[in-house]
Amino acid sequence: MTNVKFKIMSIVMAVLLISQGTYYYTSFNKKASELESYKTQLEQSQTKLELTQNHLDQKQIQLDIIQEDKAVLVNKIDELESIEYRIISTEKAESSRIQGYTLLEEHLIDVDQDSVDERVELYSDVEVTDDGVYCWDDGQRWLLLVRDEDQVYVLFDDYVQLGRLELLLYEFYESGEVNITTIQIMSAGLFIKDYALDTENAHFVERIVLDKRNIMNISDL
Protein backbone atom coordinates (compact mmCIF):
# COMPACT_ATOMS: atom_id res chain seq x y z
CA MET A 1 0.00 0.00 0.00
CA THR A 2 2.83 2.29 0.85
CA ASN A 3 4.47 1.63 -2.50
CA VAL A 4 1.24 2.51 -4.32
CA LYS A 5 0.98 5.83 -2.46
CA PHE A 6 4.60 6.59 -3.21
CA LYS A 7 4.12 5.93 -6.89
CA ILE A 8 1.01 8.09 -6.94
CA MET A 9 2.86 10.89 -5.18
CA SER A 10 5.75 10.56 -7.59
CA ILE A 11 3.41 10.79 -10.55
CA VAL A 12 1.68 13.84 -9.06
CA MET A 13 5.02 15.54 -8.42
CA ALA A 14 6.18 14.77 -11.94
CA VAL A 15 2.99 16.23 -13.37
CA LEU A 16 3.39 19.32 -11.22
CA LEU A 17 7.00 19.76 -12.28
CA ILE A 18 6.14 19.35 -15.94
CA SER A 19 3.29 21.81 -15.60
CA GLN A 20 5.51 24.30 -13.80
CA GLY A 21 8.25 23.84 -16.40
CA THR A 22 5.73 24.40 -19.15
CA TYR A 23 4.52 27.54 -17.36
CA TYR A 24 8.03 28.91 -16.99
CA TYR A 25 8.83 28.04 -20.60
CA THR A 26 5.64 29.70 -21.82
CA SER A 27 6.23 32.70 -19.57
CA PHE A 28 9.81 33.02 -20.80
CA ASN A 29 8.74 32.85 -24.42
CA LYS A 30 6.08 35.49 -23.75
CA LYS A 31 8.58 37.79 -22.10
CA ALA A 32 11.07 37.20 -24.91
CA SER A 33 8.36 38.01 -27.47
CA GLU A 34 7.41 41.15 -25.56
CA LEU A 35 11.08 42.15 -25.37
CA GLU A 36 11.47 41.74 -29.13
CA SER A 37 8.29 43.75 -29.63
CA TYR A 38 9.64 46.54 -27.42
CA LYS A 39 12.95 46.46 -29.27
CA THR A 40 11.10 46.73 -32.59
CA GLN A 41 9.03 49.65 -31.28
CA LEU A 42 12.20 51.30 -30.01
CA GLU A 43 13.88 50.92 -33.40
CA GLN A 44 10.80 52.33 -35.10
CA SER A 45 10.74 55.24 -32.65
CA GLN A 46 14.43 55.84 -33.29
CA THR A 47 13.82 55.84 -37.04
CA LYS A 48 10.94 58.31 -36.62
CA LEU A 49 13.16 60.43 -34.39
CA GLU A 50 15.92 60.48 -37.02
CA LEU A 51 13.42 61.35 -39.75
CA THR A 52 12.00 64.12 -37.59
CA GLN A 53 15.50 65.39 -36.85
CA ASN A 54 16.35 65.38 -40.57
CA HIS A 55 13.14 67.27 -41.25
CA LEU A 56 14.02 69.79 -38.55
CA ASP A 57 17.53 70.14 -39.98
CA GLN A 58 16.08 70.86 -43.42
CA LYS A 59 13.67 73.39 -41.91
CA GLN A 60 16.58 75.01 -40.07
CA ILE A 61 18.53 75.24 -43.32
CA GLN A 62 15.52 76.83 -45.00
CA LEU A 63 15.14 79.19 -42.05
CA ASP A 64 18.83 80.15 -42.27
CA ILE A 65 18.44 80.86 -46.00
CA ILE A 66 15.37 82.99 -45.30
CA GLN A 67 17.26 84.87 -42.58
CA GLU A 68 20.16 85.50 -44.97
CA ASP A 69 17.77 86.71 -47.69
CA LYS A 70 16.08 88.95 -45.13
CA ALA A 71 19.43 90.41 -44.09
CA VAL A 72 20.29 91.14 -47.73
CA LEU A 73 16.92 92.84 -48.27
CA VAL A 74 17.31 94.89 -45.10
CA ASN A 75 20.74 96.04 -46.24
CA LYS A 76 19.37 96.99 -49.66
CA ILE A 77 16.49 98.89 -48.07
CA ASP A 78 18.88 100.70 -45.74
CA GLU A 79 21.13 101.50 -48.68
CA LEU A 80 18.25 102.87 -50.73
CA GLU A 81 16.86 104.85 -47.80
CA SER A 82 20.28 106.40 -47.23
CA ILE A 83 20.39 107.72 -50.80
CA GLU A 84 19.40 111.35 -51.11
CA TYR A 85 16.91 112.32 -53.80
CA ARG A 86 15.84 115.67 -55.18
CA ILE A 87 12.89 116.41 -57.45
CA ILE A 88 13.55 118.93 -60.23
CA SER A 89 10.54 120.43 -61.97
CA THR A 90 10.49 122.60 -65.07
CA GLU A 91 10.63 126.37 -65.06
CA LYS A 92 10.10 128.91 -67.78
CA ALA A 93 13.17 129.45 -69.93
CA GLU A 94 14.57 132.94 -69.41
CA SER A 95 17.53 134.37 -71.30
CA SER A 96 18.65 136.02 -68.07
CA ARG A 97 19.31 132.56 -66.63
CA ILE A 98 22.41 132.14 -68.83
CA GLN A 99 23.53 135.77 -68.87
CA GLY A 100 27.24 136.00 -68.06
CA TYR A 101 27.79 132.28 -68.72
CA THR A 102 29.85 130.59 -71.41
CA LEU A 103 28.40 127.56 -73.20
CA LEU A 104 30.89 124.70 -72.82
CA GLU A 105 28.88 121.70 -74.08
CA GLU A 106 25.66 121.20 -75.99
CA HIS A 107 23.96 117.88 -76.79
CA LEU A 108 20.77 117.13 -78.72
CA ILE A 109 19.05 114.03 -77.39
CA ASP A 110 15.48 112.78 -76.95
CA VAL A 111 15.40 112.73 -73.16
CA ASP A 112 11.61 112.31 -72.74
CA GLN A 113 11.26 109.84 -75.65
CA ASP A 114 8.68 111.92 -77.52
CA SER A 115 10.63 111.75 -80.81
CA VAL A 116 11.70 115.38 -80.36
CA ASP A 117 15.21 116.14 -79.18
CA GLU A 118 15.82 118.15 -76.05
CA ARG A 119 18.92 120.28 -75.63
CA VAL A 120 21.36 119.51 -72.81
CA GLU A 121 23.52 122.54 -72.11
CA LEU A 122 26.51 122.91 -69.78
CA TYR A 123 27.64 126.42 -68.86
CA SER A 124 30.23 128.06 -66.66
CA ASP A 125 30.80 131.70 -65.83
CA VAL A 126 34.40 131.42 -67.02
CA GLU A 127 35.66 134.24 -69.21
CA VAL A 128 36.98 133.53 -72.68
CA THR A 129 39.52 135.68 -74.49
CA ASP A 130 39.11 136.77 -78.08
CA ASP A 131 41.40 133.97 -79.22
CA GLY A 132 39.34 131.34 -77.38
CA VAL A 133 41.43 130.86 -74.24
CA TYR A 134 39.45 130.04 -71.08
CA CYS A 135 40.46 132.13 -68.07
CA TRP A 136 39.78 129.69 -65.27
CA ASP A 137 39.75 131.13 -61.77
CA ASP A 138 40.08 129.36 -58.42
CA GLY A 139 36.38 128.69 -58.69
CA GLN A 140 33.51 129.09 -61.15
CA ARG A 141 29.79 128.82 -61.12
CA TRP A 142 28.43 125.98 -63.23
CA LEU A 143 25.00 125.58 -64.79
CA LEU A 144 23.48 122.47 -66.36
CA LEU A 145 20.17 122.80 -68.20
CA VAL A 146 17.87 120.51 -70.12
CA ARG A 147 15.92 122.71 -72.51
CA ASP A 148 12.51 121.49 -73.72
CA GLU A 149 10.99 124.14 -76.01
CA ASP A 150 10.14 127.10 -73.71
CA GLN A 151 10.76 125.16 -70.50
CA VAL A 152 14.01 124.19 -68.80
CA TYR A 153 15.09 121.80 -66.11
CA VAL A 154 17.90 123.27 -64.02
CA LEU A 155 19.85 120.18 -63.00
CA PHE A 156 22.92 121.89 -61.59
CA ASP A 157 23.46 125.47 -60.50
CA ASP A 158 26.29 125.84 -58.02
CA TYR A 159 29.77 127.17 -57.38
CA VAL A 160 32.67 124.74 -57.73
CA GLN A 161 35.76 125.70 -55.77
CA LEU A 162 39.12 124.56 -57.14
CA GLY A 163 37.61 122.05 -59.51
CA ARG A 164 35.34 121.41 -62.44
CA LEU A 165 32.10 119.75 -63.48
CA GLU A 166 32.12 116.94 -66.03
CA LEU A 167 29.05 115.77 -67.92
CA LEU A 168 28.14 112.24 -69.07
CA LEU A 169 25.07 111.22 -71.06
CA TYR A 170 24.10 107.62 -71.73
CA GLU A 171 21.13 105.64 -73.00
CA PHE A 172 19.92 102.20 -71.93
CA TYR A 173 19.68 99.72 -74.80
CA GLU A 174 16.43 98.02 -73.82
CA SER A 175 14.33 100.88 -72.45
CA GLY A 176 15.85 103.74 -74.40
CA GLU A 177 15.88 105.75 -71.16
CA VAL A 178 18.41 108.57 -71.10
CA ASN A 179 20.37 109.33 -67.96
CA ILE A 180 22.60 112.29 -67.23
CA THR A 181 25.50 112.06 -64.80
CA THR A 182 27.63 114.86 -63.42
CA ILE A 183 31.04 114.39 -61.83
CA GLN A 184 32.09 117.26 -59.63
CA ILE A 185 35.85 117.03 -59.16
CA MET A 186 37.51 119.31 -56.62
CA SER A 187 40.77 119.41 -54.72
CA ALA A 188 38.93 118.56 -51.47
CA GLY A 189 35.87 116.68 -52.67
CA LEU A 190 34.36 114.32 -55.21
CA PHE A 191 30.64 114.17 -55.99
CA ILE A 192 28.74 112.11 -58.54
CA LYS A 193 25.06 112.76 -59.23
CA ASP A 194 22.70 110.93 -61.53
CA TYR A 195 19.64 112.51 -63.19
CA ALA A 196 16.75 110.55 -64.67
CA LEU A 197 13.54 111.96 -66.13
CA ASP A 198 10.28 110.70 -64.65
CA THR A 199 8.18 111.05 -67.81
CA GLU A 200 4.93 110.19 -66.03
CA ASN A 201 5.31 113.05 -63.54
CA ALA A 202 7.33 115.32 -65.85
CA HIS A 203 10.21 115.95 -63.49
CA PHE A 204 13.83 114.91 -63.10
CA VAL A 205 15.00 112.90 -60.11
CA GLU A 206 18.48 113.70 -58.84
CA ARG A 207 20.24 110.89 -57.01
CA ILE A 208 23.54 111.27 -55.18
CA VAL A 209 25.75 108.36 -56.22
CA LEU A 210 28.97 109.40 -54.48
CA ASP A 211 29.65 112.05 -51.85
CA LYS A 212 33.26 112.36 -50.69
CA ARG A 213 34.17 115.36 -48.60
CA ASN A 214 37.27 116.51 -46.72
CA ILE A 215 39.63 114.61 -48.97
CA MET A 216 42.85 115.52 -50.75
CA ASN A 217 42.62 114.88 -54.45
CA ILE A 218 46.06 113.74 -55.59
CA SER A 219 45.07 113.33 -59.25
CA ASP A 220 45.40 116.04 -61.86
CA LEU A 221 42.53 118.49 -61.97
Residue type, 178: V
Domain range annotation of the chain: 1-82, 87-213
pTM: 0.63
Q: What is the per-residue pLDDT for 221?
A: 60
Distance between the two ends of the chain, CA-based, in angstroms?
Answer: 140
What phi-psi label fits residue 100: left (phi over 0), alpha (psi between -120 and 50 degrees) or beta?
left
Mean pLDDT by 10 residues, the chain (221 residues): 60 57 57 76 84 84 82 66 80 90 95 92 94 91 94 95 94 90 93 93 93 84 60
Q: What is the per-residue pLDDT for 186?
A: 92
